[in-house]
């Protein structure tokens, strides 16, 4: 965004004077962006939106755009921040379930292999979508299979064809998180388990699913943080890269 464009937005009352000031002069002393990262690890730095103010996120995006970063992903952007950011950066996509704010300009699918995200219940979908959108952002083909929890295990079996075609499987589940073990026992591909905080009482904000997944009796299962759909999507991408580029 050029200064002139910003000023036009002010003129048109699309943004306030204060907001314009942030965009024009924002030295971001609060952040040390790691532009070297893409060279070092193959992916650009991602913006973790949760503890940051909307102005800080705006500033970091601006700085990235100025450094010609063509793909930008901010996670954990709540509705209020998104409304503010969308006004400034209308060409970004905001997903209100996954709370991701994304600009994706490079080629869509780069890796050969496919990633499947398997999701236990309807309530786990927001986390599953965060995984899906992250992996897609990073250049992967992703399939989402919803509501196949172990209480009705035939629902899972109906989807095994798709699941077995994947290079990597992400399992998203709350409550007792048993789905990760069941899937892990059925496939020969790496499984990334994402415990969610869905449930109540003795689920203790996701602790039950977390411990369950860490103690999985199936081999080939590793775990990311509670509700960390982003982390799972990223990890799956890193693994999927080993299968080669398109």
- Smallest CA-to-CA distance from 85 within 109, 113, 64 is with 64
Report the residue number, 42 or 70, with the smaller CB distance to a second copy: 42
Distance (Å, whole) CA 150 – CA 131? 21
Return the residue matching tokens 């209100």: 96
Q: How far is the CB of 103 from a second copy (least distance, A)?
A: 18
Report the residue number, 1 or 186, with the smaller CB distance to a second copy: 186
User: DSSP secondary structure string, 14-46?
Assistant: SS-HHHHHHHHS---TT----TTHHHHHSSPPP
Q: How far is the CB of 9 from a second copy (least distance, A)?
A: 25
Q: How far is the CB of 14 from a second copy (least distance, A)?
A: 26
Report the residue number, 9 or 179, with the smaller CB distance to a second copy: 179
Q: How far is the CB of 107 from a second copy (least distance, A)?
A: 18
What b-and-e string marks burial along 194-206, b requiring 16 or more CB atoms within 10 Å of the CB?
A: bbbbbbeeebeeb
Taking residue 106's Cβ as centre, other Cβ atoms within 10 Å add up to 9
Report the residue number, 51 or 90, with the smaller CB distance to a second copy: 51
Distance (Å, whole) CA 40 – CA 59? 24
Report the residue number, 14 or 205, with the smaller CB distance to a second copy: 205
CB within 8 Å of 194: residues ≥ 6 apart = 127, 128, 131, 170, 171, 172, 173, 223, 224, 227, 228, 229, 231, 232
- Smallest CA-to-CA distance from 3 within 62, 64, 50, 43 is with 62
Report the residue number, 36 or 91, with the smaller CB distance to a second copy: 36
């Amino acid at each position: 965004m050029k200064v002139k464009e910003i000023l036009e937005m002010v003129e048109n009352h699309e943004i306030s004077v204060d907001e314009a000031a942030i965009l024009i002069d924002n030295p971001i002393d609060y952040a040390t962006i790691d532009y070297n990262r893409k060279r070092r690890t193959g992916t650009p730095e991602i913006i973790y939106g949760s503890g940051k103010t909307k102005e800080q996120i705006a500033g970091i995006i601006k700085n990235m755009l100025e450094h010609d970063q063509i793909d930008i992903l901010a996670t954990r952007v709540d509705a209020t921040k998104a409304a503010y950011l969308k006004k400034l950066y209308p060409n970004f996509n905001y997903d209100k379930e996954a709370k991701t704010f994304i600009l994706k300009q490079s080629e869509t699918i780069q890796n050969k292999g496919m990633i499947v995200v398997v999701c236990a219940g309807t309530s786990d979908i927001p986390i599953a979508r965060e995984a899906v959108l992250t992996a897609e952002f990073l250049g992967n083909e992703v399939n989402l299979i919803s509501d196949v929890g172990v209480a009705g295990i035939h629902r899972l079996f109906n989807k095994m064809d798709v699941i077995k075609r994947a290079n990597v499987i992400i399992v998203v589940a709350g409550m007792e998180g048993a789905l990760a073990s069941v899937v892990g026992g059925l496939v020969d591909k790496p499984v990334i388990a994402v415990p969610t905080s869905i449930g109540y009482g003795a689920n203790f904000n996701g602790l039950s699913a977390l411990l369950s997944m860490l103690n999985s009796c199936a081999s080939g299962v590793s775990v990311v943080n509670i509700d960390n759909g982003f982390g799972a999507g990223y990890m799956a991408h890193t693994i999927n890269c080993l299968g080669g580029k398109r």
